[in-house]
Structure 1
Amino acid sequence: MFLKCPLSFLMLIASVGIIPTYSTLTQLHIVFRHGERAPTETYKNDPHINVTWSGGWGQLTNRGKLDMYLLGLKLRNLYDGFIPKYYFPDEVKVTSSYADRCLMSAEILLAALFPPKDEQVWNKDLLWQPIPVHYVPRSQDNLIAMKAKCKKYDEEFANVFHFEVIKKIDEENKKLYEYLTEHTGQKMDSVGKVELLYNTLEIELLHNLTLPAWTQNVSLEQMKKLAARSLETFTETNFMKKMKGGVFLKKVIKDMETLKKSPLLYLYAAHDLTLVNILRTLGYKSMLKPGFGASLILELHNNSQITMLYRDDIKSDPERIALESCGTPCLLSGFKTALKEFLPSNWELECNE
């Protein structure tokens, strides 16, 4: 439906030196992955199992904190002609996942985006101001963490692993699974388990920790591909896309349609899976594993036209992207029509039909 080029669903318009047209920009939605974190878990035979991570397991590292500050500066630089100089609550709405790393990422990004100026300076020795970040518990969140209970979705997700395409992947990687099981000391028999292991190894490498000798006999790049495929399984069918990314996109469309009653800027502190769910609902077909600080931006121009940008990690330049069926800019009405199949009308009802 949306596929235009072999790399992705999107049509690449530009990648460097993007200059938004401030005179026509009327609303921004920015969803970003948190900064670099410590591992959320380890494996039984991990030689670094007793490493003390600053802040604790799953928390932002110092580099991750700096990355979020830099992302805030980049967004300020990119949209300085549109994002207000001063923070006012009726102009900015910030929503986060329940996870500490996301809440902290939002706070740090905001510190760079809205340092207090003039009469908003309340402490000349601390150029920072408190800005509210909203979230709901994990079990209630169907927007960002996307973990709220959905009976029909859970049944469909469980069935995904019986799909021939997934069974084929498991069969093709049977020897890798056996090798990883032998050396990690725990069962490795699915793309999901490989993803969790890869995430841990990736972060250990980022922190110059020497990986065990057995890792020299496996391809970390292949493990990364399997990890990306694991993220895809959460939106394997159109119904699953609707129940995940569709919820977020429906909210964006609604906020754009009610512009006069809505803030100018929406920020969402999220996870890699959040971005994958949204991008695949938009039609992304190539495997994707967003890096730390990856972000998707939806711009509303002239109250009626949408353009989109995607940054794959904190170091990447934003690329302008577009739905094949709509081009860029895409009329808001056309954007809504193109995604009609994936926008839930009543999420709770559809979860329990």
Structure 2
Amino acid sequence: MVAAALLFLLMVCSVCEKAAAERKLVYVTVLFRHGDRSPVKAYPTDPHQESAWPQGFGQLSQEGMRQHYELGHFLRNRYKEFLNESYDRHEILVRSTDYDRTLMSAEANLAGLYPPSGRQVFTPNLQWQPIPVHTVPQNAERLLSFPLNDCPRFKQLMNETEHTEEFLNVTTTYQDIIELVRNRTGLAKTTVESVWSVYDTLFCESRHNKSAPDWVTPDVMEKLRVLKDFGFQVIFGVYKQQEKSRLQGGILLGEIVKNLSKMAVSDPKQRLKLMVLSAHDTTVAALQASLNVFNGRQPPYASCHICELYRDDNGSASVSMFYRNDSTVAPYPLQLPGCSLDCPLEEFVRITKLSISEDRDKECQVPSEGREKEVIISLAVSGCLLFLLIALLLGVICWQKEPISNQGYRHVINQEVGEES
């Protein structure tokens, strides 16, 4: 009996090992937020204006450089059996938004991912080599910068979100802190959605050991943090999340799914293995919201969303996702709702299709019902004006055709009409 049990156990282990050996990593997409930076802006009464920061507002700090250099090392260790040890331009493609902090984050990351060795060392004692980072102008960015403000329907959804019970409850609950920020910062207008910028400024200043005003207590910072996180939820969720995703993060998700489907087909000529995307907290949140795996909190500096594509010997493919938002622990797996952790590609495509628009320009238009109402109202108003104009013209014509002998009587009628009106 014991021998039979041992034999069965060995058979199970053998099958598991064989299954593991058959599953081969073939392609990876990595999306990360830039590293630590200076504030994007200061509020009017802020004692630390732009001159207080070495490179000005919105710039990557040395701490941010270190964060991405460390993330690059992590990626090197994670994929040391997958990627070539030295840089190979056919294996990796890097794209960044056109901001100094994201471009520099990508470069710092690549320094950790591909330290030069052998023939790639072009200057002794310099553990760095130039690797291309591609970008497009900010006004042309449609893949990595969210939320996009070119969509009337999304603006309508945001307006409707502000009238939801959840939004109104949060506004009421934190009205005191919203008013405090307005009174203390000199800002003309503060809302649930706008106070995040004040928190961001104060957070950046605290990380760089700059003194805070007396009104910024730990309790105030905690309340502002809650509002900041809620601001992310408002943009990408709270109300009609899937439709918002189709108009925002679904754009990036659609591109990732398209690449996964392409890479799942075995092609000896296809040498690309790693797609690196350097962007922002809103980019990571937008993608995760479209996948319905967003945890509702602002992605921290150098946080990293990983999509890994595996192919089996029988030709089937699967997708595994991971999120690294803490450099002290291993990335934790993300499970696409409705699928397993190792999600079959065909299921991944089927489930995510609901968050990807096939015609975003069309979906961005305000729903036809609203336009029809506007047209009906416009036609009704135009019809009334036309009717009054015709009546006025007929009245003038009739007045001109009346006999001169009736002028006195006509004068009395006009007077009565004038009194009635």
| Structure 1 SS opposite 2:320 | strand
Find the aligned partners of 1:345 and 1:201 in 2 and give their Cα distance: 41
Aligned-pair CA distance for 1:344:
1.4
The residue type equivalent to 1:41 in the other structure is K
Q: CA RMSD in A?
A: 2.1
Aligned to 1:197: 198
- Larger RCO of the pair (alpha carbons < 8 Å, separation 6+): 1
Conserved? CA contact 2:317–2:344, under 8 Å: yes
| Structure 1 SS opposite 2:142 | coil
Pick the structure with more helix per residue. 2
Aligned-pair CA distance for 1:87:
1.8
Matched, 1:55 2:64: no
- Pick closer, same or farther for the CA change 1:50–1:59 going to 2, 3 Å: closer
Matched, 1:341 2:354: yes
Aligned to 2:296: 287
User: Which runs of structure 2 are paired with 1:1-353 in the superposition (5 Å)?
Assistant: 24-49=24-49, 51-146=51-146, 147=148, 149-216=150-217, 218-236=219-237, 237=240, 238-259=242-263, 260=267, 261=270, 263-284=272-293, 286-302=295-311, 304-352=317-365
Conserved? CA contact 1:98–1:145, under 8 Å: no
Normalising by structure 2, we get a TM-score of 0.75
Conserved? CA contact 2:177–2:223, under 8 Å: no
Structure 1 residues 249-280: Cα deviation after superposition (integer angstroms, max 9, x where no partner):
11111111111447200100011111111111
The residue type equivalent to 2:140 in the other structure is Q
Q: Which moved more, 1:282-291 or 1:317-326?
A: 282-291
- Give unmatched runs, 5+ long, in structure 2: 1-19, 367-421
Structure 1 residues 188-223: Cα deviation after superposition (integer angstroms, max 9, x where no partner):
531222110111111111111121111127431221
- Pick closer, same or farther for the CA change 1:216–1:158 going to 2, 3 Å: same
| Structure 1 SS opposite 2:307 | strand
- Pick closer, same or farther for the CA change 1:217–1:205 going to 2, 3 Å: closer
| Structure 1 SS opposite 2:357 | coil
Find the aligned partners of 1:201 and 1:99 in 2 and give their Cα distance: 22
| Structure 2 SS opposite 1:219 | helix
- Give unmatched runs, 5+ long, in structure 1: 1-19
Conserved? CA contact 1:140–1:148, under 8 Å: no
Aligned-pair CA distance for 1:142:
2.2
Normalising by structure 1, we get a TM-score of 0.88
The residue type equivalent to 1:178 in the other structure is E
Conserved? CA contact 1:41–1:58, under 8 Å: yes
Find the aligned partners of 2:50 and 2:177 in 1 and give their Cα distance: 26
| Structure 2 SS opposite 1:297 | strand
Find the aligned partners of 1:159 and 1:21 in 2 and give their Cα distance: 51
Conserved? CA contact 1:22–1:81, under 8 Å: no
Aligned to 2:379: none
The residue type equivalent to 1:320 in the other structure is P
Conserved? CA contact 2:98–2:137, under 8 Å: yes
Conserved? CA contact 2:323–2:333, under 8 Å: yes
- Pick closer, same or farther for the CA change 1:215–1:188 going to 2, 3 Å: farther
Aligned-pair CA distance for 1:125:
3.8
Find the aligned partners of 2:183 and 2:326 in 1 and give their Cα distance: 33
- Pick closer, same or farther for the CA change 1:81–1:114 going to 2, 3 Å: same
Find the aligned partners of 1:63 and 1:234 in 2 and give their Cα distance: 29
Aligned-pair CA distance for 1:149:
2.2
Aligned-pair CA distance for 1:295:
0.7
| Structure 1 SS opposite 2:105 | helix
Find the aligned partners of 1:315 and 1:88 in 2 and give their Cα distance: 29
How many equivalent pairs are there?
A: 334
Aligned to 2:415: none
Q: Which moved more, 1:154-163 or 1:24-33?
A: 154-163
Aligned to 2:389: none
Flag the structure with larger Rg. Answer: 2
Find the aligned partners of 2:22 and 2:229 in 1 and give their Cα distance: 35
Aligned-pair CA distance for 1:173:
1.3
